Amino acid sequence: MSTITVLGLILLILMTIIGGKTGATAFLSLIFNFGLLFLAVILISWGFPAVGVSLVIGTIILAFTIFFGEDDALAAKTAYIAALIVMVILILIIFPVENWIMAQGFSLEDSEDLEGMSLAIGVSFVGVAVTEAILSTLGAIAEASIAIAAGLSEIIAQQPQVSAKRLYVDGISIGKQIIGTTFNTLFFGFFGGFLALFIWFAGLHYSLGSVLNNKIFVAEVTMVLFSLIGVILTVPITTWVMTLQHRHQAKLKD
């Protein structure tokens, strides 16, 4: 049995013990999402438009992630709608930025590994970079949207007569706390994943300018910034969608 299999089983057991049915379904959604990411790679390699593949696969991934991990129907529906809106906005931001910074493809640090291999694979590296950036932001968006939606849903359950204005203020307050923790999570995840590269930069005496203009460094920092932008946009959009849902339910009761 491989190490990955053992760790995967440990993760499944812990999620099931602590999270119960919700934890088990969340683990199942993780497997489905992995399959969807693999499907996205295959579709792009076959020549399908990268942005179109990102939009379709991203929509399905958000559905699995949110609806499999949340039992509250109101919170799940609100989080899903908000996440879709944020994803579309991010696509409109990511596509021109990726074309502008030209950080897609391989860098000089990859030249030794790619020596003797052909790069004429018939796929646009800009499209690949756009797809990578979009799919990389989905986890942070889904996490933020479901956290805010679940919190607001609980407020509505405890105070059914809460005003829309008060609900919006509470949503922004919840979002402020999420932004701080998400920033640290993304930053340390980026730093930890590229610690070996940073040591390489230091060992080879890269100048600060060389590091800041390095293709790998720029690409990864850009994805972190995209994720942060997505989380920041998720806060008011999720709150706004929940406010509309609350108003609609109030009208139906009247």
Residue 94 lies in a domain: yes
Residue 160 lies in a domain: yes
pLDDT at site 121 = 62
What is the spatial distance between Cα 189 and Cα 184, in angstroms, rounded to a whole number? 8
CB 141 within 8 A of CB 231: yes
Residue 138 lies in a domain: yes
Residue 247 lies in a domain: yes
Per the structure, the count of domains in the chain is 1
Helix, strand or coil for residue 176? helix
Which parts of the chain sit beneath pLDDT 50? Answer: none
Residue 20 lies in a domain: no
What is the spatial distance between Cα 124 and Cα 146, in angstroms, rounded to a whole number? 34
Burial 117-148 (b: 16+ CB within 10 A, else e): eeeeeeeebbbbbbbbbbbbbbbbbbbbbbbb
Residue 159 lies in a domain: yes
pLDDT at site 85 = 92
pLDDT at site 66 = 85
pLDDT at site 151 = 84
pLDDT at site 112 = 56
Residue 56 one-letter amino acid: V
Q: Which domain holds residue 185?
A: 50-109+121-253
Provide CB contacts within 8 A for 139, sequence distance 6+.
Answer: 65
Residue 63 lies in a domain: yes
CB 179 within 8 A of CB 160: no
Residue 37 lies in a domain: no
Helix, strand or coil for residue 159? coil
